Structure 1
Amino acid sequence: MSGLYLASQSPRRTELLHQVGIDHIVVTSSYVEKNVVTKDPIEMVRAQALGKARCADNVPNDAIVLGADTIVVFDGQVLGKPHSKDEARVMLRTLSGQVHSVITGVAMLIKGHEIVFHNETKVYFKTLQDFEIESYIDSLEPMDKAGAYGIQGKGALWVDKIEGSYSNVVGLPVEQVYEELCKALGVKE
């Protein structure tokens, strides 16, 4: 086995894997995120994670490839990464004082098999004041994050509580990735 290849440019996913001691090599993926129109957000993130893993560039044939996609869902609506400050503002106002889901689809290509799963975490947001939203947007932190916030950054100030995996909200449910890797490789935890 050549090792684990992460088909993601997300520094947060790399940090999470390093944090739990999973060595990996970061590679690009030629997959183009289309946010395929589907009524099922879970189906969408699973398909996108698999697409990223399948299109990983420069990996040996016997490598383990990991792809992931994270979205925020509120009231059935998918909130991806904002394309503008105005879009970030709308997303943050939408999430203010509400409960939303963070869903990450994960795909692993290993020993000729495709293992695809997802993780969902409920996030309870405090009510945000306009000055808090504006200050946060000015920091530019929300611009590369699904739902326009990062729980691992200043956005943590607004999270009242979560139900589920913290690392999932950051971008990769590492505890579940570890379990699936152990199972696929026949390693007892």
Structure 2
Amino acid sequence: MPQHKKIYLASKSPRRRELLRQVGIDFEVLLLRDSPPRGPDVTELVLPGEAPEIYVSRVTQEKAIAAWQAIRSRRLLAHPVLAADTSVIIQQEVLGKPANRNEAISMLRKLSGNTHQVLTSIAVKYHDHLLQCTQKSEVSFANLDEAQIKAYCDSTEPYDKAGGYGIQGFAARFITHISGSYSGIMGLPLFETTDLLAQLEHLEPN
């Protein structure tokens, strides 16, 4: 996609904004509802028996479609919309964002001394086109003692991040190895994102 074209980013993640700026993509944030009274535009509950890969792909697709519907209903200029969802997976369990300190501590205990997967699915919606892919990375944690876990969970860092940690923050001290996409672990795999936007360029009408 030519860099002079703008997209909507259907995410409130500051990391995703930072990553898009890093590669020179012009964007405008399009926020979806995530609270009452009308309820969220997209719920992020894992369905019974739903595999992690299916879950992250489904939620991302729902976000992209809801965002495109919001563009139409708000009568905004029609630009492609980019949606994404990141989940941390350990032993087939999906770890989302911890709701409180106890949840954050529990997540860090599970990650300590183990290797987990980070799945980030991205989708681009524009008129009748919907392009999507899911990027998988692996992250290995050192063994953490209770003092390290609780000190980290006393900070503000765990609470808006899948799995309760940020690779670009203080938790980098815990990580012994990564395999895959660093930007994908942050929440937006840049190679795959720019590739989808380039594919979309060829699908757009003249």
TM-score tier by shorter-chain length is over 0.9
- One of 2, 24, 32 as aligned partner of 1:21: 24
Counterparts of 2:184 and 2:106, CA distance in 1? 23
Rg larger for: 2
Correspondence 1:47 to 2:20: no
Give the corresponding residue for 1:119. 135
Q: What letter matches 2:50 in structure 1?
A: K
Counterparts of 2:159 and 2:196, CA distance in 1? 31
Q: What letter matches 2:13 in structure 1?
A: S
Q: Structure 1 residue 76: deviation in Å?
A: 0.5
Q: What letter matches 1:7 in structure 2?
A: A
Correspondence 1:160 to 2:170: no
Q: What letter matches 1:98 in structure 2?
A: N
Q: What letter matches 1:166 in structure 2?
A: Y
Matched-pair contact (CA < 8 Å) for 1:126–1:160: yes
1:131-161 CA distances to partner (integer Å, 9 max, x unpaired)?
A: 1111111112101111010001001111111
Matched-pair contact (CA < 8 Å) for 1:53–1:109: yes
Q: Tell me the secondary structure at the aligned position of residue 24 of structure 1.
A: strand
Q: Tell me the secondary structure at the aligned position of residue 122 of structure 2.
A: strand
Q: CA RMSD in A?
A: 1.8
TM-score by length of 2: 0.85
Give the corresponding residue for 1:35. 45
- One of 10, 15, 23 as aligned partner of 1:12: 15
The residue correspondences of 1:1-189 to structure 2 (distance < 5 A) are 3-30=6-33, 31-37=41-47, 38-56=49-67, 57-58=70-71, 60=76, 62-186=78-202
Matched-pair contact (CA < 8 Å) for 1:95–1:125: yes
Percent sequence identity over matched residues? 41
Counterparts of 2:119 and 2:130, CA distance in 1? 19
Q: Structure 1 residue 112: deviation in Å?
A: 2.1
Q: Tell me the secondary structure at the aligned position of residue 28 of structure 1.
A: coil
Q: Structure 1 residue 17: deviation in Å?
A: 0.5
Runs of 4+ deviating beyond 4 Å: none
Aligned residue-pair number: 187
Q: What letter matches 1:32 in structure 2?
A: V
Matched-pair contact (CA < 8 Å) for 1:13–1:172: yes
